[in-house]
Amino acid sequence: MTNTETKDAEGKQHLADPMVKEATVKDDGRFLFYYSFPEKDSTAAVSADEEDKNV
């Protein structure tokens, strides 16, 4: 997996699908990263496939 990352409006990094990384800084200056793993949106995948067919 490589860091093909994007940032959303909240500044969260979307790394290789489906991992999201949110970087924060603690009061004492130390970095803290929350990693989350949203469920894949199967509807979106179908839509993308549909879009491909339409191209």
The nearer residue to other proteins, 32 or 55, going by C-beta atoms, is 32
**Hey, what amino acid is at 1?**
M
Helical (H) or strand (E) element with 50: helix 42-54
- Look at strands 20-25 and 13-14 and give their pairing: antiparallel
Selected from 9, 10, 30, 51, the binder of other proteins by CB under 8 A is 30
Q: Is residue 47 near other proteins by the rule CB under 8 A? A: no
Radius of gyration of the chain (CA): 15
Q: Is residue 9 near other proteins by the rule CB under 8 A? A: no
Judged by the rule CB under 8 A, the positions of this chain that interact with other proteins are: 1-3, 15-16, 19, 21, 24, 26, 30-37
